[in-house]
Amino acid sequence: MKVEVCNYYNDHKTACSLMIDDLVPVAVSKDGEFKSCNDWGYLTDKPSSLYAYFTEFLLRKYPEIKGTIFLPIDSQLYIPENQGYKVIKSGFDQEFLEFLKRIYSRFEFAFHGIKHAWENAENHTIHEFNNITSTEIQEIKQRLSDFSGSKGIVFNGGKFPGYKYNDIALNFIKDVKYNWWALSKDMLNKKSNKNLPLFNSELNIVEIPTNITGDIFKNFYWRNSKRRILSNLLKLNTLSHPIDLLRYFYENGIPITIQEHFQNQTTKGTRQPINIYDDIWSLDQIFGLLRGLDIWYTTCGEIADYYFNYINTSIKKTDNDSFDIISNKPFRSINITIRTASARLHFLDENIFIQGIRKKDGWVFNNLKSGSYRAL
């Protein structure tokens, strides 16, 4: 009898997670009016908020969407207010925390810095972890501890602001013992040897790739419309079509991790490139194409935990009908999925019987623990 550990939970072909940076209790307005197009999270999920817009034009249409929101804890304190824009902000107060609780069933929360990023005297953007010192790391650890203790939000992973960091920042990941991290954007919108999750033994984390930008369809059609005449004249190669890239990821079992921002209108007189308000049509195209495919919609944390379990699990056949699931490490969060030709299993360690789920030409069993099993 053939028994195999599945690459993804429920033996899905691949996984999909929507990664949203910079949800903070801030709104920025040029004309003093605050609504979805200039909200960063201050309006929570009120009717005029960005989250309400997001819900109406995407989440209600695609209730399967799940993902990870990256929270900068104190970035609202470092937003300049002398730029000619009206800025309203609060902290992680009770109203904002209640909002986060309401969306937690769909989105997990991940760490994205304390100060996040700011402008220096020369108007250059400083990313918090780019040239960070050991003293500053200790201050961050203390702020994180205070935040988790007072707000009840515990992070298991995250990413550095701007994907910028130094060696001291990498040691921070190791010290706080996170399970996963999104370290790079080098693989964005292209086929790369970095498109798959990877276990980083040096940091003891699973690295989650950032594979696609939420504006990929908008960007493709906009850039190609500008190039169309020149391309036709000079026979230039245009960008790969987003559909081809999505097909490549799906058919090769590569997770479809989609980079977005909540932040949109900035105090620098620009729009934040890649943000869910401006990219809603492109996001609709992405999720419309994925609908009906064999996809596990989940969070970055669950992708990382399942991958960690997968690479540390093996099957040992003990006779024709029996086998052991052996794990080299304790399972993280979500247990393993196996595929067999049998419809039922007897979990000998706990003397319980488990019914499989029919899928294609076999049977799938989810959330299995390590131990001894007999196929029935």
What percent of the chain clears pLDDT 90, i.e. is strictly above it?
86
Q: What is the mean pLDDT of residues 74-103?
A: 94
DSSP label of 267: T
Flag whether pLDDT at 360 surpasses 70.
yes
pLDDT tens across 39-55, in order? Answer: 999 999 999 999 999 99
Nearest Cα to 100, choosing from 54, 56, 44?
A: 44
Element (H, E) at 88: strand 86-89
Question: CA 303 to CA 162: how far, in whole Å?
Answer: 22
Q: What is the mean pLDDT of residues 170-186?
A: 97
The more confidently predicted of residues 325 and 267 is: 325
The reported pLDDT for the residue numbered 205 is 98
pLDDT tens across 214-225, in order? Answer: 999 998 887 655
The reported pLDDT for the residue numbered 240 is 67
What pLDDT band is residue 231 in, cutting at 50, 70 and 90?
very low
DSSP label of 56: I
The reported pLDDT for the residue numbered 22 is 96
Flag whether pLDDT at 320 surpasses 80.
yes
Q: Which amino acid is at 276?
A: I
pLDDT tens across 114-167, in order? Answer: 999 988 878 788 999 999 999 999 999 999 999 999 999 999 999 999 999 999
Sheet with strand 336-340: strands edge to edge = 3-5, 336-340, 362-368, 357-359
Flag whether pLDDT at 11 surpasses 70.
yes
Q: What is the mean pLDDT of residues 344-350?
A: 98
Question: CA 6 to CA 67: how far, in whole Å?
Answer: 21
pLDDT tens across 61-82, in order? Answer: 999 999 999 999 999 999 888 8
Cα dist from 307 to 58, 110, 166, 206, 238, whole Å: 28, 18, 26, 8, 35
DSSP label of 39: B
The contacts of residue 72 (CB under 8 Å, 6+ apart) are 22, 24, 112, 113, 114, 115, 116, 161
Nearest Cα to 323, choosing from 6, 10, 1?
A: 1
The reported pLDDT for the residue numbered 236 is 42
The reported pLDDT for the residue numbered 51 is 98
100: tokens are 């986060």
The reported pLDDT for the residue numbered 235 is 42
The alpha helices in 255-348, defined as continuous H runs, are 280-290, 300-311
52: tokens are 């309400």
Question: CA 376 to CA 357: how far, in whole Å?
Answer: 14
The reported pLDDT for the residue numbered 223 is 65
Average pLDDT, the chain: 93
Q: Which amino acid is at 230?
A: L
What's the full length of the chain, in residues?
376
Q: Give the number of other Cβ atoms within 10 Å of residue 355's Cβ.
A: 11
SS3 242: helix
Flag whether pLDDT at 342 surpasses 80.
yes
DSSP label of 143: H
Question: CA 180 to CA 161: how far, in whole Å?
Answer: 15
